[in-house]
A and B are shown apart, each in its own frame.
Chain A
């Protein structure tokens, strides 16, 4: 039997429909509003250099006993967790009674060229955690680390478990040397000292180029072919543009921190192999004895599930929970399924442990 049976008339119809959509886009693109992001009001409660900690304002008073601080990755902007009204992890967590804070790392520039992982983890994160605890009037808080921010949170929890009640990691790389980790595979032959000594801070465009080449046809062609379908829909186009803005609104990476992260995590895989030190302090995941919830995405091309799954084998806690989400690295925050599944899972897990 023939594998393909396409009626040429249907092909014509498809082509015409696509052309009509392109024609309609001329009007749609004029009408789309300047896409903004952030569905939830927030207030700054702590600021240091370019780092700001915000507290999100829910409609009611939080019912959770401990605040939840989100520690996002350095490589993208944190507003992904509160992208828009109907795609907001934050909004859903607030609705469930959580008291949500977030670290915004800002956009590093030349003045931040020498920031190290010591500055980020023993410095910024520690002081942000203290600020949230003080603001909420508690001794211990819950920490939710995302992607690279999850790896930082693991280091932090290993060093300062007395400041934390529970730890949640989302799409967090733990074992960087699994076979399907393309990004890690590519960094192995890189001379990261030469790289950082040459570039200083690592330009965001270079990082984005690298990410796009992980799936060149899907991310550079297919995505825009699929966009043909929504060219005449103002709301869908605004959603698409908002996502585009987030993808390419990326901060440069502070050179020294980047050097350490590539050398010790991507190349050395020291988080699981051992020998990792942050500011001279040894990191041992066995020190993490507080409850841990590890959420990863099954179709994640940036942090494959194989990189996240091993966390349970390495942490010292007896209270370890793992949740596999059917979606990708970004879908875990913005898809309809994510809105239905992820916030309740986090809330219920926390409620059982802190009330």
Chain B
């Protein structure tokens, strides 16, 4: 069976039947959950994947989900690759491919599903990175997009000598533009390594699949296939991410981003000074002084009980000495008095 390959006409018919069956069941589920009918036209395209897209739209339209909508978005983003794989398996037939390379090809094609970002073609690791959507990274990316026009303008000034009244400003813009170009360069190097990890992931996937050719180790579910792919992708990523080259590129990227941020901060500070507003540098300076005072006050407060004890001990000693002196005086006086008294007597 494996050598003959599947009957493609039969496969097409089966696929069509399964798609219809799937679409009907999905429509039914949608109707029950949302009391609406999904877009019927979508079923002509890629129903397995489109089903997810429609869920995404319905959840977004439903205002009642509140804070959970981000979770749903994350889930659907993660599920897209899985459903793409499901569709691929059902479409191409789940049996009869003895060659791990053929499976790797099918997997690669499945990830390039309709509507997928063209920049992420054949690069599933980059897609996974993009789906993180952490505000720390996203915020900076958005800020950079907003600055593009200004940076383009600054780029033109990059090689011109600075002179005259505004030469300091011009030099600052030049530094800013250079930092931005440097950041772009480092981002490209980083992205190239991620793309390399993605390519390597398919190779590792083939190796892992080859091991599954042994009796009793075959994969019999799409989820099993997906999980194997994840293992392969993580192994490949770790290979690249633990390399010296990645370490250098990662460090350079972080440093380049910090230089861009720092230049932007200086520009914001310059504007703040012009407007008579407090700057970050001033606030930091005040904060540092306050912190030192706070620490000093704590240390002094902590040493107070010791000081108090020391003072108390000293006082006690003084008292003792005083008392001792009085006694000695007393002792000295008494014999003299006694002598005088004795003489009188």
Binding partners A and B: yes
Q: Which residues of A contact B (CB under 8 A)?
A: 1-12, 14-16, 18-20, 22-27, 29-30, 32, 110-111, 113-115, 119, 123, 127, 179-180, 182, 185-186, 188-191, 194-195, 197-200, 203-209, 212-218, 220-225, 227-228, 231, 241, 244
Shortest distance between the CB of B202 and any CB in chain A (Å):
13
Provided the pairs A6-B219, A216-B128, A228-B79 are in contact, do residues A1 and B237 lie with their beta carbons within 8 angstroms?
no
Q: Which residue of A lies closest to B98 (CB)?
A: A2
> How long is the Cα–Cα vector from A191 to B248 in the complex, in angstroms?
11
**Chain B count of residues within 8 A CB distance of the other chain:** 104
Q: Which residues of B contact A4 (CB under 8 A)?
A: 94-95, 97, 103, 209, 212, 218-220, 225
Query: 3 shortest A-B CB distances, which residue pairs?
Result: A189-B251, A6-B94, A224-B78
Q: Which residues of A contact B222 (CB under 8 A)?
A: 6, 11, 14-15
Interface residues of B in 96-146 (CB under 8 A from A): 96-98, 100, 103, 124-125, 128-129, 131-132, 134-137, 139
Q: Which residue of A lies closest to B237 (CB)?
A: A216
Interface-central residue, A4, A198, A225, by most chain B CB under 10 Å: A4
Q: Which residues of A contact B213 (CB under 8 A)?
A: 1-3
Q: B62-70, B160-168, B333-341: which lies at the A interface?
A: B62-70
User: CB distance A227 to B33 under 8 Å?
Assistant: no
Residue B277 at the chain A interface, CB threshold 8 Å? no
Q: Which residues of B contact A18 (CB under 8 A)?
A: 79, 82-83
User: CB distance A188 to B251 under 8 Å?
Assistant: yes
Residue B308 at the chain A interface, CB threshold 8 Å? no
Checking B64, B214, B221, B295 against A119 with a beta-carbon cut-off of 8 angstroms, the contacting residue is B295
Q: A22-B29, A189-B247 are in contact. List 19 more A-B contacts (CB 8 A).
A: A1-B98, A5-B220, A6-B94, A6-B95, A6-B220, A8-B89, A19-B51, A22-B76, A26-B62, A182-B241, A188-B247, A198-B262, A200-B284, A206-B136, A206-B137, A225-B81, A225-B82, A228-B75, A231-B75
Q: Which residues of A contact B214 (CB under 8 A)?
A: 1
Q: Which residues of B contact A189 (CB under 8 A)?
A: 247-252, 254-255
User: CB distance B26 to A199 under 8 Å?
Assistant: no
User: CB distance B30 to A1 under 8 Å?
Assistant: no
User: CB distance A223 to B94 under 8 Å?
Assistant: no
Q: Which residue of B lies closest to A225 (CB)?
A: B82
Residue B242 at the chain A interface, CB threshold 8 Å? yes
Q: Determine chain A's interface SS by DSSP, over half rule.
A: helix
User: CB distance B261 to A2 under 8 Å?
Assistant: no
Residue B148 at the chain A interface, CB threshold 8 Å? no
Residue B48 at the chain A interface, CB threshold 8 Å? yes
13 residue pairs A–B, Cβ–Cβ below 8 Å: A1-B214, A6-B95, A8-B90, A9-B18, A11-B90, A11-B94, A15-B83, A29-B72, A111-B291, A114-B287, A114-B288, A191-B254, A195-B255
Q: B170-178, B226-234, B268-276, B323-331: which lies at the A interface?
A: B226-234
Checking A5, A26, A216 against B219 with a beta-carbon cut-off of 8 angstroms, the contacting residue is A5
Residue B41 at the chain A interface, CB threshold 8 Å? no
> How long is the Cα–Cα vector from A119 to B294 in the complex, in angstroms?
11
User: CB distance A209 to B132 under 8 Å?
Assistant: yes
Q: Which residues of B contact A (CB under 8 A)?
A: 2, 14-15, 18, 21-22, 25-26, 29-30, 32-34, 48, 51-52, 55, 59, 62, 64-65, 68, 71-72, 74-79, 81-83, 86, 89-90, 93-98, 100, 103, 124-125, 128-129, 131-132, 134-137, 139, 209-215, 217-223, 225-227, 230, 233-234, 237-238, 241-242, 246-252, 254-255, 258-259, 261-262, 265, 280, 283-284, 287-288, 290-292, 295, 298, 302
User: CB distance A8 to B14 under 8 Å?
Assistant: yes
> How long is the Cα–Cα vector from A30 to B255 in the complex, in angstroms?
44
User: CB distance B51 to A217 under 8 Å?
Assistant: no
User: CB distance B218 to A217 under 8 Å?
Assistant: no
User: CB distance B255 to A194 under 8 Å?
Assistant: yes
Checking A1, A15, A206 against B134 with a beta-carbon cut-off of 8 angstroms, the contacting residue is A206
> How long is the Cα–Cα vector from A52 to B81 in the complex, in angstroms?
44
User: CB distance B291 to A182 under 8 Å?
Assistant: no
> How long is the Cα–Cα vector from A14 to B85 in the complex, in angstroms?
12
Shortest distance between the CB of B303 and any CB in chain A (Å):
13
Provided the pairs A3-B100, A186-B247 are in contact, do residues A191 and B258 lie with their beta carbons within 8 angstroms?
yes
Q: Which residues of A contact B83 (CB under 8 A)?
A: 15, 18
Q: Which residues of A contact B230 (CB under 8 A)?
A: 217-218, 221-222
> How long is the Cα–Cα vector from A333 to B283 in the complex, in angstroms?
40
User: CB distance A16 to B26 under 8 Å?
Assistant: yes
Q: Which residue of B lies closest to A26 (CB)?
A: B33
User: CB distance A197 to B262 under 8 Å?
Assistant: yes
> How long is the Cα–Cα vector from A156 to B206 in the complex, in angstroms?
50
Shortest distance between the CB of B207 and any CB in chain A (Å):
11
> How long is the Cα–Cα vector from A185 to B90 in the complex, in angstroms?
42
Provided the pairs A1-B215, A224-B77 are in contact, do residues A217 and B233 lie with their beta carbons within 8 angstroms?
yes
Provided the pairs A10-B221, A220-B128 are in contact, do residues A114 and B32 lie with their beta carbons within 8 angstroms?
no
Q: Which residue of B lies closest to A48 (CB)?
A: B298
Q: Which residue of A lies closest to B223 (CB)?
A: A14
User: CB distance B225 to A220 under 8 Å?
Assistant: no
Shortest distance between the CB of A253 and any CB in chain B (Å):
12
User: CB distance B64 to A241 under 8 Å?
Assistant: no
User: CB distance A205 to B134 under 8 Å?
Assistant: yes
